[in-house]
Structure 1
Amino acid sequence: MRQNHHDGTKRWARWEGASLPTNVRPPILADGRHSSGLAGCKGGGHGDPKAAFAKAPTFSPDTDFRARVAAEKFHLCRTTREKGRMGPSKSSNTAPSTLQVHRTSDLRRLLADRPTWGRLACGVPFRDPRWLAPWWDSFSESAEAYALVASDERCVIRGVLPLYRRSNHGYRDLNFVGDGAACSDYVSIACRPQDSTAVAQAMAAYLMDVRDDPDHGWDGVEIDGIAESDETMRSFAQALLVGGAAVHAHSRQSTWLSARRATWEDHLRSMAKTTRRKVRRFGEQIDGAGGLTKRVAETENQVDAFLDELIDLHQRRWRAEGVAGSYHDSRMVTFIHSVAQAFFLSQRLYLPTLWKGDRMVSAELHMIGDDRRLYCYSSGYDIDSSHLQPGRVLLSDTLRELYRRDWTGIDFLRGDEIYKRRMAATPQRIVCLRVFSPSAAGRIRFETWSAGFNAKQWLRRRLGIPPLSVVGMCETGTPSR
């Protein structure tokens, strides 16, 4: 179970047949230069960034944060000088040499262009307008949209980074649309894999250029929910570091993927013997002597009704543990209902429920990615029926459903509950990226924050609590999926 513990002057040209207002800053090319318009721009830099970072330094979790930043920054600046300017790597799928980055505050209009998002989001629900638009409608109070759009010389959008800006104790902070209570995972720049490095570096160049601008400036960036293997965000972090910003990444939890095997029997064999025996037994209880029946939401009305029941089960369980629960905020309830309906209408929702007579005893909420993967966002079970183990019964059936419907796996998302490992799921660390502007205010804030972070790490060790894992986002990683 998942417990979520200005526009100034407008300037824009054609955007795949539509006009879109943006802000006054001139676009930034992929090589970091200004452009006065959308046409007649020369290409950016070259070189292979993977080669440049192939020998990046590694550190232990105990290494002082500021020492890490200094060493990584020295290494990246040196290798950039040796290898040449960072730019798209030479390959058969070479990214465009010229990219122009604009900021827009008209996020709703941007999210309305579903074909562009369908081309760029790589099928991940948390990068999809069906997720982002309801979040913006529910949680954007006092927030200012700050979406970055990267376009090529033909005005085709190659990448989008949906951020928003808020004032935080006098600092101007940029955050990812979908953060906070919604607890989005696999957040990233929306772009095609072959464009990822060029888009990430162009967006980083834009941010570094406008950091002190009175209308578009920023003091900090915080993006939570990044997969450690995300090469796009790794390139983004590297480029910001080379540009002079302080970059830090840490991980509290992992996502857990139980991938489909060749057969159901192979899946069972991947589990421990005791777990395998229990899963078999749980699967026999549906429509058996135990009197448990399964129902899947098949209409819009059922989606709303089943989801209300799931939320009630979820809240009752966590309140019994003395925890507020994921849905204690009414905005969260409104948000998840909007998301569920949007994914249901596009046949991308799986909402199974388990019943004992006329009483729901367990429910799960899954979004289905374009890769046919189930993303298990939320679940709940009836604590008064815990002797039936309804949560485990339904989960065992959902695993079996992978093989009935040809789904590719179940992603349990973030949270390190023991049942995920028992279900033969494999972890991937989820990362929170912090960036501090090289401005005077940013430097002061970085020094204060890093001292506090190191003090908390020391205190965790003294209390016997595992410290947060410091992640080297400025080192070469594996390609994102």
Structure 2
Amino acid sequence: MIDQRAWSVRVHEDFRDLEQLEGQWNHWAEDPPFRRYDWQRTWWEVYGPGSLSRKRSRLCILEVRHGETLAGIVPLYREWHPLWGWVLRWLGSGEVCSDYLGPIAPACYQEHVGRVAIIALHALALGKSRFQDVTIDRSPAPRLTCHRIDWDGMRADDPAVQAVRIQAETLKWALDVRPTESSWQLALPRTWGEYLDSLQPRSVRRRYRKLSRAYLDHPDLVLHVVGKQEVFGTPCDDNWQSAWNILVQLHQARRRQVGDQGLFASTQFEVFHRRILTEYLPSGRAALAWLEWQGQPIAAEYLLLSGKTVMAYQSGINPDFLTLSPGHLMSLSLIREAIRWGFETFDLLRGDEPYKRHLGARPTPLVRIRAAPPQVSARWRFTLWNWGRHSRELLRRMKAKNIDFGGTMMEDDQVAAVDS
């Protein structure tokens, strides 16, 4: 049970009601830009009910107080799905792929805010204005239909996330918690030489040393960075759209080559980031970089900056220069410059691609939580979803082993090759 002193939760359905909390919100959000007020408000303005894809969505931000003290903020929205009903998700989730999401609170309140959030959602689903020493304020009525929560991109070791799991089980919610792709961080040493010496295994170290000698100091290879001058030593060009266009062109060209439409095929994705960069570039929270070989752009990177951390958020490579390993050259160039700029961590964010381990990064486990309150309609929908998930997993395993419905199977050595 949580502390027996008075807790209260106010449900906000309009960002204008939260403007006075912006400073506290950003202070508690700490470093990751994905948790900041400006990132999440911009996301809602672009991806909210004004968009074609989310016309039936509603803001649902929980303001949690302990007595008169603001204890935390839980930034959610709910979206209607024809099969799963009203689903609660984090602001900033979806194709923007924000990492490190979760309740926003100081360390002393994180666990409590996670517990109180689930208790409040439980009470709202049941149409109650009070439940287990938690008072819920939502006008005009206390009921808020919720058939499921679907929370992605959370650190597995987040105290608030762990509290959510425990409290949901206590309240008899149906619960599905599973790991997703990890995020990957590289602790930067003091010098470039130390970094190269630290790479493992030896084959990777030899390869990156060879790339470094052959290209990084070659006069035909030039790294351009657009960002705050005090950070990078180069002026922030107001006309940063040229750097942006290079990123978009290279990203889309590479994705089309591998049969994917690319993220920038989404108008909303591009609009969102153009708005974010308008604020983040001059303030030193973002940078755009591209790498040229003999005057031709061969790679580009969209960086987010947070304290002493550089985050490699989105990239693109020129498919006409694959023999140069442009992706590896861009990563190595940025890591070398990040050391020179004085950063301490290079964060490669979510995704378990092998190159991240080769660069020396270490994984931080992330989890996804799906849960349904103890109501007949919510449980029925959750059971249907769970059955569908198990069916898809079974089909994927059968496809991986090349099993058809007639019982044909590849030879054992072929199966082993596929599984590896």
Pairwise same-fold verdict (TM > 0.5): yes
1:171-250 counterparts in 2 under 5 A? 171-213=85-127, 215-250=143-178
Deviation string for 1:86-124 (max 9, x for gaps)?
Answer: 449xxxxxxxx4432110011254267431122210211
Deviation, structure 1 residue 333: 0.6
Say which SS state the counterpart of residue 352 (structure 2) adopts. coil
Q: Are residues 288 and 119 of structure 1, via their aligned partners in 2, closer, same or farther at CA, if it must alter by over 3 Å?
A: closer
Residue identity opposite 2:37 in structure 1 = P
- SS at 1:166 equivalent: strand
Q: 1 CA distance for matches of 2:223 and 2:315?
A: 15
Which residue of the other structure, out of 374, 377, 384, is the alignment partner of 1:438?
374
- Mapped pair 1:160 → 2:73: yes
Residues 99 and 199 in structure 1, CA contact (< 8 A), matched pair in contact too: no
Per-residue Cα deviation, 1:430-462 (whole angstroms, up to 9, x for no partner): 222101121111111122222222333333333
**Structure 1 residues 308 and 446, CA, compared in 2 at 3 Å: closer, same or farther?**
same
Instruction: Determine the C-alpha separation between the residues in 2 that align with 1:287 and 1:138.
Output: 39
1:148-179 residue CA offsets vs partner (Å, 9 max, x unmatched): 1112323x422111111121116111111111
Is residue 350 of structure 1 aligned with residue 282 of structure 2? no
- C-alpha change, 1:358 and 1:103, in structure 2 (3 Å) is same
SS in 1 for 2:196: helix
Aligned mates of 2:260, 2:20 — CA distance in 1: 37
Give the whole-Å Cα distance in 2 for the aligned partners of 1:115 and 1:409. Answer: 25
Other structure's SS at 1:244 match:
coil
Which residue of the partner structure matches residue 102 of structure 1? 10
Distance 1:288-1:450 versus aligned 2 partners, 3 A rule: closer
Q: Secondary structure in 1 aligned to 2:183?
A: strand
| Aligned AA (1:416) | D
Matches within 5 A, 1:217-296: 217-261=145-189, 263-271=191-199, 272-284=201-213, 288-289=217-218, 291-296=220-225
In structure 2, C-alpha distance between the alignment counterparts of 1:430 and 1:295, rounded to whole Å:
33
Secondary structure at the counterpart of residue 463 of structure 1 = helix
* Secondary structure in structure 1 of the residue aligned to 2:75: strand
Residue 269 of structure 2 corresponds to which residue in structure 1?
332
Unaligned runs of 5+ in 2: 50-54, 128-140, 228-235, 402-420
Deviates most, 187-196 or 452-461: 452-461
Write the distance in 1 (CA, Å) between the matches of 2:384 and 2:311: 37
Matches within 5 A, 1:33-432: 85-87=1-3, 97-110=5-18, 113-141=21-49, 142=55, 143-154=57-68, 156-169=69-82, 171-213=85-127, 215-261=143-189, 263-271=191-199, 272-284=201-213, 288-289=217-218, 291-298=220-227, 299=236, 301-370=238-307, 372-432=308-368
Judge which range, 134-143 or 261-270, deviates more.
Answer: 261-270
Counterpart for residue 474 of structure 1:
none
- Counterpart of 2:230 in structure 1 is none
Give the drift of 1:291.
0.7
Q: Deviation string for 1:251-303 (max 9, x for gaps)?
A: 34221111223543333233122322333343445674451111110425343
Query: SS of the residue aligned with 1:134?
Result: helix
User: Which one is further off, 131-140 or 456-465?
Assistant: 456-465
Tell me which moved more, 107-116 or 212-221.
Answer: 107-116
- Report the Cα offset of residue 187 of structure 1: 0.6
Query: 8 Å contact 2:216–2:333 — kept in the other structure?
Result: no
Which residue number corresponds to residue 462 of structure 1?
Answer: 398
CA distance in 2, matches of 1:103, 1:152: 15
TM-score by length of 1: 0.72
Post-superposition shift, 1:216?
A: 1.5
1:358 Cα deviation from its structure 2 partner: 4.1
Check whether the contact 1:363–1:380 (CA below 8 A) recurs between aligned residues: yes
Looking at structure 1, the residues matched to 303 and 243 of structure 2 have their Cα atoms a distance apart, in angstroms, of 13
Q: Which amino acid aligns with 1:103?
A: V
Query: In structure 2, the residue corresponding to 1:216 is in which secondary structure?
Result: coil
Distance 1:108 1:312, change over 3 A: farther
Code of the residue aligned with 2:9 in structure 1: it is V
Aligned equivalent of 1:17:
none
Paired position in structure 2 for 1:47: none
SS across alignment from 2:263? coil
Deviation at 1:402, TM superposition (A): 3.0
Q: Flag the 1:240–1:434 CA change in 2: closer, same or farther, 3 A.
A: same
Report % sequence identity.
Answer: 24
Confirm or deny: 8 A CA contact 1:211 1:218 kept in the other structure. Answer: yes
Q: Could you tell me whether the CA contact under 8 Å between 1:111 and 1:117 is conserved in 2? A: no
CA distance in structure 2 between the aligned counterparts of 1:219 and 1:300, rounded to whole angstroms? 48
- Alignment check: 8 A CA contact 2:220 2:295 kept: no
For structure 1, the residue ranges without an aligned partner over 5 or more in a row are 1-84, 89-96, 466-481
Question: Any runs of at least 4 consecutive aligned residues in structure 1 with deviations exceeding 4 A, and if so which?
Answer: 284-288
CA distance change for structure 1 residues 394 and 412 in 2, over 3 Å: closer, same or farther?
same
How many residues of Structure 1 are paired with residues of Structure 2 in the alignment? 371
SS in structure 2 at match of 1:241: helix
SS in 1 for 2:316: strand
What is the identity, as a one-letter code, of the residue corresponding to 1:418?
P
Query: Residue type of the partner of 1:199?
Result: V
Change (3 A) 1:285 1:116: farther
**SS of match in other structure, 1:327:** helix
Q: Give the TM-score of the pair, scaled to structure 2.
A: 0.82
Letter of the aligned partner of 1:137 in structure 2?
Answer: E
Distance 1:294 1:302, change over 3 A: farther
Rounded Cα–Cα distance in structure 1 between residues aligned with 2:225 and 2:338: 15
> Aligned letter for 1:377?
Y
